[in-house]
Structures are given as C-alpha cells and as structure tokens.
C-alpha cells in the first residue's frame, strides 16, 4: 500500500512521558514541539490517558502539528471502536492525525487487561480486516490518513506493507531500518523511533540510556529482534552492554546525535521520531529546540 496521505515530515518527537504531565503542561509541550518545527508528536498507550482523547486535546491546542499514536493498543478497544475513534479524529482535524496500531506486550495485555495474548499476529490480521468492514455512518475525512503498524519481525513488517500504509519500528537501529525498508517496499511509510541523550559525558549518557532502556530489555519482542540484529543475551543482561547501549541510544555532540538520526533516513526511513531521554524523564523546552537546531529544522 502507498504512504499515508498525512504528511508528518522528516522528524518527529516520540514522547511517552507526556502522560506524566498535567494536561495544560502537555499542551504547552506540544506547542513547543510545533514551534521548534517538528512535523509530528507521537504518543503512547499503556496505563495512562486514552490516546485518542489526548490526541484531540493536543490537536485542538496546536495549529498545524500532526499527532500520531505510537501505538494504540488493539486489545484496548474492539475494531469498530478503534475505527470510530480514528475516523472521528481524521475528519475533525484533516491531514493532522496518523493512526499507529500495535499488539502491545503480554504483561500489559494478558497480565493487566486479562485478554488472550497467545497469537498476537493472527489477532492483528483479523483485527485489521474487522476494522476495514466496521460500520461507521458519521462523516469521514475526504482523504483517509492511513495507518501504520508497530513492526519488528518479518511477518509484521509484511503485514505493514499489505494491510497498512507502513511501519513504526521501536527500540531498534539503522541496520533494522534497512531490513524494514526491504521488507515493506519503496512506497510505504517507514517511521522508526530513535532514543537520544543530549550529553557528551560518556558515563552520564550511558547511565541515562540504560535507565530508559531497562523496561524494554525484559520484553521478548524486543530481545528477539535484537537477536536478529546480531546481539545476544550477554548484551542485555546486567543493564545492557556498552555495545548495545551505543547501538540503541545516540549520545554525544549535537552533530553526532543528528548524524545518527539521519542514518535511519540513509537506510530508508521517511520519518524518524526521536525520543529524548533525560535524568528526570521530563524534557525541557531547550532540549526540543537544541535537537531541532542540530537537525537544522525550520523553527528550531
């Protein structure tokens, strides 16, 4: 399938910690990201706010910034409800909302939501078909903005090509971006996430990186993908090897961080959503502007 009709630009911000902010502060952060010149703000779904309600709040509070879900959990709502939420935002804010879908993780789906997570890939296939056939009798956007899937392995990447408009790989490397582009073909959107630490202090940067990586090193879908990329269990035991930390998280001078982000573009990405890691978890206004300047984004 072709790329989504919504144009999210070359660079965005992935900001999962927006859920820790009061709503007014989250809107202010979105305005800063917009003013800095980033094309999109990606927000997550776990055990915090509803991503569609929050997307509506942030879209209303900004003028042109695009919102993307990175990702909306398909086990959190049935396909008809997901389609209705998606269609509502797409029509309300033309060209400003991109739907990112994913199967989430076993501890969130089976452990917390008490759903069956034994066949997430098959569930996704059926879910997309049911979304496409769901009844929806309200007005729709003139152009459907499209959808992307959280995808790392071969089957989900192929599904991103065949039943979606692209892929949103998370916690990965430019080497994986090349693999993903080969899998989804030249026409679909490829929007990987890239973690960064804006510090040249090696010890501090790696400490912050390890804290940001910690939860993901215990999740099989990420460690299985790391194995496909040539890492092994020794790389994610004891907090993560220096080799793995430096591969997953870009740190160093601003120019170096920008060059690492742009390695994804060279490998085939259309858009890179950057996640800034900090000691506190919150990101300062100057961090967004500093990153925008490093990437030579208009507005930074």
Taking the alpha carbons at both ends of the chain, their separation in whole angstroms is: 33
The residue behind tokens 């990987």 is 192
Q: Give the span between the Cα atoms of 272 and 180, in whole angstroms.
A: 13
Band of the pLDDT at 281, cuts 50, 70, 90? confident
pTM: 0.97
90-to-41, 116, 140, 147, 191 alpha-carbon distances in Å:
15, 30, 7, 11, 19
**CA quadruple 252, 255, 258, 262: dihedral sign:** negative
Which pLDDT score, from 0 to 100, does residue 299 have?
A: 62
Q: CB within 8 A of 136, min separation 6: which ones?
A: 80, 83, 84, 87
Strand pairing partners for 82?
A: none
Residue 65 CB neighbours (<10 A): 22
**Phi, psi at 153, each rounded to 5°:** -80, 170
Band of the pLDDT at 282, cuts 50, 70, 90? confident
Nearest to 14 by CA among 38, 31, 32, 48: 38
Examine the pLDDT at 298 and tell me if it is beyond 80: no
The residue behind tokens 């999962």 is 16
Domain boundaries, the chain: 11-200+253-294
Alpha helices for 167-219 (secondary structure H): 174-184, 202-213
Helix/strand number for the chain, H first, E second = 13, 11
Q: Quick one: what percent of the chain has pLDDT higher than 70?
A: 99
Q: Give the span between the Cα atoms of 193 and 274, in whole angstroms.
A: 6
Nearest to 130 by CA among 79, 73, 82: 79
The residue behind tokens 């990606």 is 42
* Fold of the 11-200+253-294 domain: TIM Barrel (3.20.20)
Examine the pLDDT at 275 and tell me if it is beyond 60: yes
- Is 272 within 8 Å of 265 (Cβ atoms)? yes
Mean pLDDT, to the nearest integer, of 262-278? 98
Examine the pLDDT at 30 and tell me if it is beyond 90: yes
Which pLDDT score, from 0 to 100, does residue 2 have?
A: 82
Q: Give the span between the Cα atoms of 128 and 136, in whole angstroms.
A: 15
pLDDT tens, position by position, 33-77: 999 999 999 999 999 999 999 999 999 999 999 999 999 999 999
Mean pLDDT, to the nearest integer, of 265-290? 96
Examine the pLDDT at 102 and tell me if it is beyond 70: yes
């Amino acid at each position: 399938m072709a790329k989504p009709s919504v144009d999210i630009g070359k660079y965005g911000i992935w900001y999962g910690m927006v859920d820790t902010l009061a709503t007014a502060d989250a809107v202010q952060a979105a305005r800063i990201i917009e003013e800095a010149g980033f094309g999109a703000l990606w927000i997550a779904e776990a055990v915090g706010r509803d991503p569609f309600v929050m997307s509506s709040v942030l879209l209303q509070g900004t003028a042109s910034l695009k919102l993307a879900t990175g990702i909306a959990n398909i086990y959190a709502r049935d396909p008809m409800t997901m389609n209705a939420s998606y269609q509502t935002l797409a029509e309300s804010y033309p060209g400003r909302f991109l739907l990112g879908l994913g199967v989430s993780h076993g501890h969130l789906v089976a452990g917390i939501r008490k759903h069956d997570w034994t066949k997430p890939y098959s569930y996704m296939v059926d879910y997309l078909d049911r979304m496409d056939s769901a009844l929806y009798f309200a007005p729709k956007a003139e152009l459907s903005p499209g959808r992307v899937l959280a995808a790392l392995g071969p089957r989900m990447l192929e599904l991103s090509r065949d039943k979606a408009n692209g892929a949103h790989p998370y916690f990965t490397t430019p080497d994986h971006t090349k693999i993903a582009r080969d899998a989804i073909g030249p026409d679909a959107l490829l929007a990987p996430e890239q973690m960064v630490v804006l510090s040249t202090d090696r010890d501090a940067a790696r400490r912050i990186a390890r804290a940001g990586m910690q939860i993901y090193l215990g999740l099989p879908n990420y460690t299985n993908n790391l194995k496909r990329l040539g890492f092994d269990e020794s790389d994610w035991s004891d907090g993560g090897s220096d080799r793995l930390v430096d591969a997953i998280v870009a740190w160093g001078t601003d120019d170096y961080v920008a060059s690492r982000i742009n390695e994804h573009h060279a490998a085939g990405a259309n858009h890179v959503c950057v996640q800034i890691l900090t000691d506190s978890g919150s990101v300062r206004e100057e961090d967004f502007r500093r990153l925008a300047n490093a990437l030579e984004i208009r507005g930074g």
